[in-house]
Amino acid sequence: MDSNDISFENLPRAVAHLVSEIAEIKFLVERKEPPIIPVKRIPIDIAEACQIIGKAKPTVYTLVRKRLIPCYKNGKKLYFFEDELLDWISKGKKKTLEEIQSEAEVNFRKHSRKANVDSNQNLQR
């Protein structure tokens, strides 16, 4: 509702709009939650991307050429988003020996049960 639109004819609509706005503010205050403000994603250039991921420019250009790193191209310039670069870094996590061992045990149990079930079914035939 625009403040310039308030006139005698649309006064009930303006009051209803104000009541709904006050109810929303009251709800947020009661829950003590900050209002949700969308985060703006600002693109960064290759120099900033190099600093974030700790690689030299030629290395980043190679990663872009091989399509291994998330990037955007507009004309001749490359653009990156910091959150995407950080996600890309976190996806490259190497598993610890404990994680590998626990996965191996789970897979072994899964396959050994399946093998036992298959052999039991073959014996029953």
Kindly state whether residue 58 falls inside one of the protein's structural domains.
yes
Residues 80, 87 contacting (CB under 8 angstroms):
no
Number of domains within the chain = 1
Q: Residue 60, Cβ neighbours under 10 Å: how many?
A: 20
- Residue-wise pLDDT tens digits, 68-78: 999 999 999 99
Domain annotation covers residue 23: no
DSSP assignment letter at 72: E
In a domain, 56, yes or no: yes
Over the stretch 31-45, which tens digit does the pLDDT of each residue have?
Answer: 776 667 778 889 999
Whether 1 is in a domain gets the answer no
Q: What SS3 class is residue 42? A: coil
Which residues lie below 8 Å from residue 84, measured CB to CB, with a gap of 6+?
70
Q: Is the pTM of this model over 0.75?
A: no
- Locate 11 and state its tokens: 């006064």
What confidence tens digit (pLDDT) does each residue in 76-115 have? 999 999 999 999 999 988 888 998 999 999 988 888 766 6
pLDDT at 65 over 90: yes
Any domain includes 52: yes
Flag whether 99 is in a domain: no
> Which residues constitute the domain of residue 74?
43-92
Is residue 73, in this structure, part of any structural domain at all? yes
Q: Does 114 fall in a domain?
A: no
